[in-house]
Amino acid sequence: MSTLFEPLTLRSLTIPNRIWMAAMCQYSAAPDGDRTGVPNDWHFTHLAARATGGAGLIITEATAVSPEGRISPYDLGIWNDAQAEGFRRITAFLKSQGTVPGIQLAHAGRKASTERTWVDRGAPIAPSEEHGWTPVGPSAAPFGPASTTPEELSDEAISRIVEDFADAARRALDAGFQVAEIHGAHGYLIHQFLSPHSNQRTDAYGGDFAGRIRFALEVVEAVRAVWPADLPVFFRVSATDWLQETGDADREGWTADETVRLAKELRARGVDLLDVSTGGNVPDAKIPVGPDYQVPYASRVRAEADMPVAAVGLITEPDQAQAILASEKADAVLLGRVLLRDPYWPRHAATALGGTMPTPVQYHRA
C-alpha cells in the first residue's frame, strides 16, 4: 500500500492517512457584531467537503486568538465562547467522516488589518477606515511601503498575547479540536519575532537567536500547558526568509540553520510535528517557486532535529506526494490550493496509487 494511505500516530492520536489539508484563509466570517469571527455555513461546507473527500487531517484557516490578531476583519477567531460554539458542528462532522480536526492558532501582528485577498489584493486597511485598526509587532517597522506602521509591543502586551494563545487553545479543545497548530510562519507575529528582518528589539525579546525565539517558546509552553498530554501540538514555521539563499546578503533574515535550531527547542517543549513552509516576511524576497521547492527544508529538519515534519508547497500529483514520503523527506504532506480545485484529491490519489480509504456509506453505490 502507498505510504500516503498509512496511518500516523502522534501521542495517542492516530491520523488515518498522510494526506492533510493545510490552513487556508477564506475571509468569510462576519467582520463585526455578535457573530464576529464565528464560522458559518461557508466554513462548514468548505471543510466538510474535504472531509468527505478523504483528507486524514484538516487544519482550519488561521484562527485569530484576539480581535487585533486577525489578518483581515473577515477572519475566523476563537477569542470568545460564541466562536468556539460555532466550531462544534464542524469538528463533529469531520470526526464523523474519520477526519481529525485541527486548528491553526494565529496572530497576524504587523500584517493585520488588511482587505480580503480579492479586494485590492489584500491592501492594508488604515486605522481610520471602517473595520481598520492599528497593528502591533515586535518593532515599529511596517511590512511594506503601503502598510500601517505597527505599534511596538511592550513586555506586558507580549505577556497578554501569550495568555491569548493559551485561552484560545482551551476554547479549541472545548470546541472538539484534536490538533492545535501554532502559526509561526508567513510573516505573522511569531515569525516577526523570529526574524532579524522584522525584529529590531534590543531587549530580552530581540537581538540574538535566544532573544528572537523567546516569544515563540513562551507561546508553545503556554499552549502545551493547557493542551492534553495525549494530543499533539504542531508548529508551522517559515524555514527561511529567502534572503541569504537568493544572494541578498545585504539584508539579514531568518535562515534554515536557525530553523533546525528552533526545531530542537520546540521538540524539547512538547511540539510533536513541524509544518515546514517558507517566506512571507519579506515582501520583495525572490522566491524560486516550483514543485517541491520547500521539501528540502522539511527534509533537513526531519534529519537534523529528529522530528516528524509535514511538507508543503506545490505538491499537486499523487506520485509526487508518494515520492516525498517514500524517500523519507517528510512524514505527511499538507495540501493547499490543489484541494480547493479538487476536494476529492485524496480519493483520486487512492485510485491512482492503489491505496484504500473508507467510503461514506451514502456513496457505496458509486
User: Which are the catalytic amino acids?
Assistant: 188
DSSP SS3 for 96? helix
Distances (CA, A) of 124 to 5, 67, 73, 135: 42, 16, 11, 10
Q: Which residues contact 67 (CB under 8 A, 6 or more apart)?
A: 36, 37, 77, 79, 133
Q: With CA atoms as reference, report the closest residue to 100 among 228, 232, 229, 298.
A: 232
DSSP SS3 for 288? coil
d(CA 286, CA 307): 28
**Residue 341 and residue 21 in contact, taking contact as beta carbons nearer than 8 Å:** no
Q: With CA atoms as reference, report the closest residue to 21 among 241, 275, 271.
A: 275
